[in-house]
């Protein structure tokens, strides 16, 4: 974070600075400078950091103020002061605000504005129904080769996660990669107004979170927010192969840079070849340059994310050699996203159970079918795709039928929320042990453990809420290659 005095922070948050007698005796004054990391998780607080006490659905961060101070917090942002008469006086300053989440956003807005004013910060905003985190990771890998780059950890892309990322900016930061998700209209606009992008990327518009949004049209309107506030000298990086995204070109004043597989895309991939070790393709940029890429991230669908990252980097002046070199260093999209594990007796587990939508589920199944050798058995272990609302049964049914058409050899469906996958697969002709339904991940593990054969290729896929990412880890661990004993087996 930038160096800011306590007074400057309080003003940015529109809050009241409280320095108790205990804090004053400890040496704190309104002009004391704070520059530590800002977080809402007291477990991540260290010496000099700022703890924001946020009320959540299941807990209240105010309960952990004491733990944050004990861990070394230099400042706490709270919705009520911890007063001496309550027996809870703090020996660190407090900024008291009306709403901690809104204050966090205001804090981020101030820091972004200061870094912009004093340096040459460029901001890339990324949204889409699928691929945000992968694209963010790929673009970070590229931009880090050029200058100091700030990007979110995991999928920090909401009204809390996005500002926490923005608050990591320093005076020397050259790039901010902001992943911008939403569960309703107006949320992307709110994030953009904290940190307006110079480059706005829209990947896809699909049924992910359709239940929360209320339908595909609301999803489209929400994702379009990414490009509506862009200025004429900004750039909208749009997926020409997604008709809904392509339609956004008429909703923005910014220059449009198309990416995709279409010949009309200025940033495109040709000669795509997907295998079990990754995907090769030739990257083409608008300046006429082209270069082959050996992309280790599994799944042909991730080529689109690589194109989006390459397009954004090109806008920011990164040459093709640097772009390709960076893309080739990335070996996985993210933890639990098309992560290849295992190895014992040739068994491979593709753990892709961090998130799932109809589009990403179809892409993962296509990858499973595409990369398997002719003699190799394929197994899909699938759980629920959450947040689909009224589309849930229909979309799970579609996936079940798709599995049979892809000729996946064995299907294990886990949990009542995904039962429609199993029913559809059976209806399509998958029976006699080819399609099995179980209630729990433990049952699925026992079933897979008892039936795994040499060279099996196993996909584990579900939404995060279904918890199958841990099942994928268990299956992979049971089939992992044992590491040699570094002591040579000697007694210790």
Annotated binding site: 128-134
Q: How many residues does the chain have?
A: 492
Q: Which residue's entry shows tokens 């014992």?
A: 344
Q: Which residue's entry shows tokens 């995907």?
A: 279
Distance between CA atoms of 113 and 97, rounded to whole angstroms?
A: 21
Tokens of 271: 């000669």
Which one-letter DSSP state was computed for residue 31?
T
| Contact assessment for residue 246 and residue 239, using Cβ atoms and an 8 Å cutoff | yes
Return the half-sphere exposure (C-beta side, CA atoms, 13 A cut-off) of residue 423: 11
End-to-end alpha carbon distance in the chain: 46
| Contact assessment for residue 414 and residue 446, using Cβ atoms and an 8 Å cutoff | no
Distance between CA atoms of 386 and 208, rounded to whole angstroms?
A: 8
Supply φ then ψ for residue 230, to 5 degrees: -70, 145
Cβ contacts of 77-82, under 8 Å, gap ≥ 24: 77/13, 77/15, 77/50, 77/51, 77/52, 77/53, 77/103, 77/104, 77/107, 78/53, 79/53, 79/55, 81/16, 81/18, 82/20
Query: DSSP readout, 160-188?
Result: THHHHHHTT--TT--EEEEE---SSTTHH
Q: Which residue's entry shows tokens 């006490």?
A: 53
Tokens of 183: 């569960």
Phi/psi zone of residue 467: left (φ > 0), alpha (ψ -120 to 50 degrees), beta? left
Distance between CA atoms of 211 and 214, rounded to whole angstroms?
A: 5
Residue 343, classed as helix, strand or coil, is: strand
Q: Shortest CA distance to 138 belongs to which of 151, 156, 121, 120? A: 151
Binding site feature residues for ATP: 128-134
Alpha-carbon distances of 120 from 49, 173, 198, 237, rounded to whole Å: 26, 8, 12, 21
Rounded (10°) angle between helices 468-478 and 441-451? 20
Tokens of 22: 């205990």
Alpha-carbon distances of 101 from 40, 62, 79, 285, rounded to whole Å: 10, 13, 10, 40
């Amino acid at each position: 974070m930038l160096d800011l005095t306590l007074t400057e922070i309080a003003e940015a948050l529109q809050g009241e600075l409280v320095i108790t007698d205990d804090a004053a005796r400890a040496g704190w004054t309104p002009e004391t400078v704070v520059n530590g990391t800002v977080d809402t998780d007291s477990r991540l607080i260290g010496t000099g950091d700022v703890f924001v006490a946020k009320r959540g659905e299941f807990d209240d961060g105010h309960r952990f103020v004491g733990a944050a101070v004990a861990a070394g917090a230099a400042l706490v942002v709270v919705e009520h002061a911890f007063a001496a008469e309550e027996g809870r006086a703090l020996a660190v300053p407090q900024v008291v605000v009306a709403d901690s989440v809104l204050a966090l956003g205001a804090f981020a807005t101030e820091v972004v504005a200061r870094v912009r004013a004093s340096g040459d910060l460029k901001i890339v905003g990324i949204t889409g129904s699928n691929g945000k985190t992968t694209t963010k990771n790929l673009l970070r890998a590229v931009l880090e080769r050029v200058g100091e780059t700030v990007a979110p950890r995991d999928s920090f892309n909401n009204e809390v996660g996005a500002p926490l990322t923005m608050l990591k900016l320093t005076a020397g930061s050259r790039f901010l990669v902001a992943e911008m998700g939403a569960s309703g209209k107006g949320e992307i606009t709110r994030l953009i107004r904290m940190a307006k992008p110079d480059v706005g990327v829209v990947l896809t518009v699909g049924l992910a979170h359709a239940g929360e949004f209320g339908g595909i049209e609301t999803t489209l309107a929400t994702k379009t927010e990414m490009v509506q506030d862009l200025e004429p000298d900004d750039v909208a990086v749009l997926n020409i192969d997604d008709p809904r995204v392509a339609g956004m070109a008429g909703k923005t004043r910014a220059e449009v840079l198309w990416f995709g597989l279409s010949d009309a895309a200025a940033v495109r991939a040709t000669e795509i070849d997907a295998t079990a070790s990754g995907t090769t393709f030739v990257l083409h940029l608008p300046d006429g340059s082209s270069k082959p890429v050996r992309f280790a991230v599994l799944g042909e669908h991730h080529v689109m994310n690589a194109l989006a990252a390459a397009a954004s980097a090109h806008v920011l002046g990164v040459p093709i050699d640097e772009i390709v070199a960076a893309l080739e260093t990335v070996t996985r999209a993210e933890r639990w996203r098309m992560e290849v594990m295992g190895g014992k007796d040739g068994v491979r587990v593709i753990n892709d159970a961090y998130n799932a939508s109809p589009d990403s589920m179809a892409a993962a199944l296509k990858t499973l079918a595409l990369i398997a050798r002719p003699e190799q058995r394929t197994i899909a272990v699938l759980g629920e795709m959450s947040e689909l609302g009224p589309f849930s049964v229909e979309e799970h049914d579609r996936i079940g039928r798709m599995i049979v058409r892809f000729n996946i050899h064995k299907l294990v469906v886990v949990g009542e929320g995904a039962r429609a996958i199993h029913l559809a697969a059976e209806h399509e002709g998958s029976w006699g042990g080819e399609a099995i339904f179980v209630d729990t991940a433990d049952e699925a593990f026992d079933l897979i453990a008892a039936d795994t054969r040499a060279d099996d290729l196993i996909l584990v896929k579900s939404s995060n809420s279904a918890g199958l990412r841990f099942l994928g880890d268990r299956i992979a661990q049971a089939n992992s290659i044992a590491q040699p004993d570094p002591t040579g087996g000697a007694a210790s």
